[in-house]
Structure 1
Amino acid sequence: MFVNNTRKTFEAKSPTWQSINDKFEFACPDGWQSFNRARGTYCMKMFYSSYPQYIAAAQCALSDAYLPGIESETEFMWIYCKYIFYESWIEK
């Protein structure tokens, strides 16, 4: 998903199996947040960039990811909180 057309990019990808506490579990890479959707679990990460949507989509593809949409209030609040934190950090 692309917010404000040139401010923030969100990537999504599927989690991978990782060994956690001697068990194998689905886990997102470091810095990524997992979200449960009807089609499975997805990992999302926010990037602060100044790319138009078509370039952001190409950058996502290089990371084996894509620009997602928002499917739940939980995802929306995560994105909103990241946005608020970033905006208040920049202004200080």
Structure 2
Amino acid sequence: MKASKIAYKPVGLALGAVSGMIAGAAFKQAWKVIEGEGDAPNATDEDRPWRQILLAAAIQGAIFAVVKAAVDRSGAVATRRVTGTWPG
């Protein structure tokens, strides 16, 4: 295993935690705009319709994927700038 890949592991873990927090906050804001409600439904919310639950899940998944990709890519670019090698 490359030294740059090993060195990037802790950075990747930290970036993963940060991206989760960013994505969670972005989803809460997006849900307020879309549905006008404070809390998004959970899959087990008995009083919420299927449409609302599936819409929330799709939006949440999309936001998390985009934020994770952006943060991971930024971390890899920063690692290459510092070490001169791509961490992949």
Normalised TM-score (structure 2): 0.33
Bigger Rg over Cα: 2
Tell me: higher relative CO, structure 1 or 2? Use CA pairs within 8 A at least 6 residues apart. Answer: 2
Higher helix share: 2
Higher strand share: 1
Normalised TM-score (structure 1): 0.31
